[in-house]
Amino acid sequence: MANDGPLKTSLLFLATLMLIVALSTHSFNKMLVTYVVGILGIAGLLLPDWDYFNRDFSRWPYPVTSEERTSLAQPSGFQRFAYSPMRVIAYSLVYGYAMYKWWEYISN
Q: Say if residues 69 and 51 touch (Cβ distance below 8 Å).
A: yes
Whether 106 contacts 25, CB under 8 Å:
yes
What domain count does the chain have? 1
pLDDT at 14 over 70: yes
Per-residue pLDDT band for 97 (boundaries 50, 70, 90) equals very high
The residue segments making up the domain with residue 68 are: 5-107
Give dist(CA 37, CA 21) in Å, integer: 13
Per-residue pLDDT band at 26 (split at 50, 70, 90):
very high
pLDDT range class, residue 4, cuts 50, 70, 90 = confident
User: What pLDDT was estimated at residue 87?
Assistant: 77
Residue 76: pLDDT band with limits 50, 70, 90: low
Report pLDDT digits (tens) over 29-64.
999 999 999 999 888 887 776 777 777 778 878 887
